Amino acid sequence: MVNCCDLVSEKNEPVPLKSISVELQVRDHVASVSSCLQYVNEEERPLEAVFVFPLPADAAVCHFSARIGEQEIVAEVQDKQSARDQYDDAVSSGQQAFLLEESEESSDVFKLSVGCLSPGQKASITIVYIIELSVQADDALRFCLPAVLNPRYTPAVSAAGVPEVSSASVIPYTLSLSVEVRSSDRISKLESSCPLDPLEFLDAQHTHATVNLTAGHRFDKDVELFLYYENSHQPSAVVEAGASAAPSGSLMGDPALMISLYPEFPADVMSSLASRGEFIFVVDRSGSMDCKMHHGNDAQMRIESARDTLLLLLKSLPMGCYFNIYGFGSHFESFFPQSVVYSEDTMEEALKRVKSMSADMGGTEILQPLKHIYSQPCYPDHPRQLFIFTDGEVWNTKEVLDLVKRHVYSHRCFSFGIGEGASTALITGMAREGSGHAQFITGTDRMQPKVMQSLRFALQPAVDNISVDWTVPEGVKVDMLSSSINTLFQGQRALIYAQIKGQSSGKKEGAVTVKYKLKDQPVTNQLQFTLQPTEDTGLTIHRLAARSVIRSLELEERAEGADAENVRKRIVELSVQAGVSSAHTAFIGINKDHNQTVKGPLLQRRVPVAPLGFPSLFSGMVVQRARPMALQMDFDSTMHYSMASSNSMIESDDESDQTEAEPLKDPVLQLVSLQKATGCWELNASLAAVFGKTEDEVTNQKTAQVDGSVWATVLALIWLYAFKSDQQVEWQFVAMKAASWVRSQKPDSLSQCVCDGNALLGCQVTEDMLGI
């Protein structure tokens, strides 16, 4: 198979994607993304091309058009089966047609069929989608233009109708990207993982700005943008006028309202951590986890980074909690038959198993281990916290999300997407349905700080008892469109959508009061909003509101006992009315003005997936629609994983065939690996080596009346605070356990001990800084 992201000719010669142009328009916390892709048929015969490409999981496609020569074809949203039938009829009769549809299995994958391109003919495809921008740990809003669609592992028993895929090497494209930002808040800065031209402000208040990606960018990795506002935690309410052509009383005809809620957690709440819980870590051990984290020379393997992260997690857990670790691939296994009490013995046993973990479990089937976990009874007074690590290559995303949602009241789910191309539908969906938090580890990101941040979320109090009350003049009514929000963690933001119905002859303003509790303390925010919004706003908020309703209906449709046919009808009606994509609709465009029908055999191209520019393209398969011709198929055999008892749980103590992990290279991880479950360190040669000392040098400096473990633990704390403060988010819980243990020992001469430790290590750290 040719390692190429473009169309492949019958002779395995590339038919290139000519250019990618993207326009990003940001309004407060949401964005509209317009992508224009130029293709050409360099075959000697008419061509049908099939492209499969990634979009963010919560995106909604709202426009799809194609320009061939001077003729522009604007697609319409229709029932999916009807659209497919029209497309097939058009292509079979030689007409030019275009079909864009959401994947049956996952909402972050779309398929584009381009039919009847004559030899030498060019096609310009424009796709517009809208999206909520995610919030990062430093309060930035993140936009990502994915360069990769990872293969989705499909068990043989479920392979019908799912395209075959295979990975290929990175093929960069040149990309143009322009960004425009409008906000009710002052724009602080805009950063990117790729080179940008200088940010240009278009008003004195710094609420309107533009920036472009520096010319010549090679699209060999995700393009990430990070937008910072000055008052990011300030709640906001934005009202958008309805479409003048839409009937009054409809979602698209009435004004729509978007509330942003991003609570700020005070320092005393941030430092308040729970000491109870059941922590279950679920780690992807499929073959794809044996890939590098990024393309740099010093990149770790994904599974290696996961092992290091599990070491930090295991050392950071509070004494007396419960825990277990699962590995999954084509089958799954757990370290213990059920969660066990965290102690020195169980921690050491788990660490021994972690060291031998490999990416050796075949394909990726996460559904069965989740079913097994949910079948286990919860421990009273120990809230279940699920941490899931995967590179996102699963095929049955919607089924997984339904399962997580059914168990939302018995656990929280924290998910981590590893590497570029991890499914945003899976990662963000599991966190959303499990009232948890999602993190993505891409590029040169380290996994450990992001995971430890989520552990802090799991241990911290959360915002709950959230209520929304409206104050509007007589004749006006507000209908909530968003699902109710149960919980918000530190670092999470909620966007709430509503429809404003009716009219008032008097007051032109309304108010919304948002109340919630944080650590049993009530918080109230009241926001004013206009009832007469400005016209011509692009309908971004309306369409995101419609998308929110559609996603809720799709979950309702898949629920047991649902009136599926009636719910499906409501989904199609709203999707067509709002002009946004759904699981049951598709965009269909037919060039009915094309006077000359295409004659001759029509080649179909399914394009190989590679980490590519905007559309990832599917596997090299040449077929003929009009009349028979020879088939040549060359599938990458590495993608066909063996099936091994996919619903079984394997527990084995035989580790004779496991390869021993390499010694830890990171000094922080070396130090952490030596800590006991109680939080202390023992005085020995291994600990001294971390400090760059001999055991005698460390022992001889110890005050006689100070216990060896107290001395060792104080030294470890001094070393962390003095030399590794930049990694504090990774070792924060390790240090808290250590300080708590030192305090519990009530040692004499502690001040002298800290003074001697500073002298030995050549630094100046105070007792207050150490927390002892």
Rounded CA-CA distance 244/539 in Å is 11
> DSSP label at 726?
G
Kind and range of the H or E run holding 176? strand 175-182
Residue 471 has φ and ψ, to the nearest 5°, of: -125, 105
The yes-or-no verdict on residue 688 having pLDDT over 90 is yes
What is the tens place of the pLDDT at every residue in 339-366?
Answer: 999 999 999 999 999 999 999 998 888 9
Q: Which domains does the chain have, with CATH numbers?
A: 17-149+166-229+580-595 (2.60.40), 276-459 (3.40.50.410), 671-770 (no CATH)
- Asked if residue 7 lies in contact with residue 162, where contact means CB atoms within 8 angstroms, the answer is no
> Which tokens is 767 given?
């007792």
pLDDT tens-digit map of 729-766: 999 999 999 999 999 988 888 889 999 999 999 999 98
Weakest-pLDDT range from 5-14, 482-491, 629-638: 629-638
Predicted confidence band at 566 (pLDDT cuts at 50, 70, 90)? very high
CA-wise closest residue to 375 among 346, 314, 334: 334
Q: 298 exposed, middle or buried (CB, 10 Å; 0-12, 13-18, 19+)?
A: exposed
What is the model's pLDDT at position 642? Answer: 27
Q: Could you tell me if 1 and 619 are in contact, meaning their C-beta atoms sit under 8 angstroms apart?
A: yes
Question: Which tokens go with 397?
Answer: 């995303």
Look at the alpha carbons of 214, 219, 220, 226 in this order and tell me if their dihedral is positive or negative: positive
Q: Give the strand pairing for 47-54 and 603-606.
A: parallel
Query: 341: part of which helix (H) or strand (E)?
Result: strand 340-341
Using CB atoms within 10 A of its CB, is residue 32 exposed (0-12), middle (13-18) or buried (19+)? buried
**Structure tokens of 322?**
């419960």
Per-position b or e across 152-166, b if 16+ CB within 10 A of its CB: bbbbeeeeeeebbbb
CA pair distance 146, 241, nearest whole angstrom? 31
Question: Between the CA of residue 251 and those of 239, 246, 533, what are the distances in Å?
Answer: 13, 9, 15
Query: Residue 706 and residue 684: Cα distance in Å, rounded?
Result: 15
Percent of the chain residues topping a pLDDT of 90: 39
Q: Do 252 and 242 contact (CB within 8 A), yes or no?
A: yes
- What torsion do the CA atoms of 576, 579, 582, 588 make, to the nearest 10 degrees? 80
- Please tell me the predicted confidence (pLDDT) of residue 600: 40
How high is the pLDDT of residue 385? 93
**Which of left, alpha, beta for 755 (phi over 0: left; psi -120 to 50: alpha)?**
alpha
pLDDT, average across residues 88-95: 87
CA atoms within 13 A on the CB side of 347: 22
Lowest mean per-residue pLDDT among 446-460, 544-558, 627-641? 627-641
What per-residue confidence (pLDDT) applies to 621?
28
Q: What's the CA gap between 86 and 588, in Å, rounded?
A: 8
CA distance 569 to 575: 10
The CA-based angle 553-554-560, given to 5 degrees, is 95
| Banded model confidence at residue 610, pLDDT cuts 50, 70, 90 | very low
pLDDT, residue 574, reads 95
In whole angstroms, give the CA distance from residue 587 to residue 75: 5
506-520, 616-630, 734-748: the lowest-pLDDT one? 616-630
Q: Which residues pair with 201 in a beta bridge?
A: 209
In this predicted structure, which of 115-119, 344-348, 717-721 has the lowest mean pLDDT? 115-119
Confidence check: pLDDT of 166 > 60: no
Pairing between strand 322-328 and 521-530?
unpaired
Condensed to tens digits (0 to 9), the pLDDT of residues 235-269 reads 888 899 998 888 888 999 999 999 988 888 777 77
pLDDT of residue 173: 52
Alpha-carbon distance 669 to 119, whole Å?
A: 59
Of 111, 75, 116, the residue nearest 92 (C-alpha): 116
Residue 660 or residue 425, greater confidence: 425
| Amino acid found at 558 | R
pTM of the model: 0.70
Residue 293, both tokens? 């984290």
3-class secondary structure, 400: helix
Round to whole Å and give the CA distance between 405 and 494: 18
Mean of the pLDDT values across residues 535-563?
Answer: 83
Nearest 5°: phi and psi at 389? -115, 120
CA distances from residue 641 to 268, 395, 410, 635, 637 in whole angstroms, order as listed = 50, 14, 33, 13, 9
Q: At what angle do helices 750-761 and 708-723 cross, to 10 degrees?
A: 50
Q: Give the residue, 582 or 1, on which the prediction is more confident.
A: 582
Closest CA to 15 of 607, 684, 442: 607
Please compute the mean of the pLDDT values over residues 528-551 and round it to a whole number: 85
Q: Does residue 597 surpass a pLDDT of 70?
A: no
| pLDDT single digits (tens) 449-496 | 889 888 988 887 777 788 889 999 988 999 999 887 767 777 778 889
Measured CA to CA, the distance from residue 645 to residue 730 in angstroms comes to: 37
Output the six-digit token pair for 646. Answer: 């996919």
- Average pLDDT of the chain is 80
Quote the CA–CA distance of 660 and 631 in Å, as a whole number. 46
Closest CA to 624 of 607, 603, 605: 603
Select the more confidently predicted residue: 108 or 640: 108
**355 membership: H or E segment, kind and range:** helix 344-355
d(CA 157, CA 161): 11
Lowest-confidence region among 271-285, 305-319, 371-385, 669-683: 271-285
Distance between CA 250 and CA 535 in Å, rounded?
17
Distance between CA atoms of residues 492 and 486, nearest Å: 12
> How far is the C-alpha of 587 from the C-alpha of 129, rounded, in Å?
13
Choose the most confident range, by mean pLDDT, from 143-152, 210-219, 472-481, 486-495.
472-481
Q: How far apart are CA 607 and CA 622, in angstroms?
A: 9
Question: Side chain identity at 37, as an amino acid letter?
Answer: L
Mean pLDDT of 610-623: 31
- For 18-44, what is each residue's pLDDT tens digit? 677 889 999 888 999 998 887 777 777
pLDDT attached to residue 758: 93
45-74: pLDDT as tens digits = 776 777 777 777 678 899 989 888 778 889
C-alpha angle 429-433-438 in degrees, rounded to nearest 5: 50
Q: Which of 542, 522, 454, 423 is nearest to 148 (CA)?
A: 423
Looking at residue 535, its pLDDT comes to 66
The sheet with strand 494-502 has its strands ordered as: 236-240, 256-261, 494-502, 476-480
The pLDDT of residue 157 is above 60: no
Of 125-139, 217-231, 262-276, 515-529, where does mean pLDDT reach its minimum?
262-276
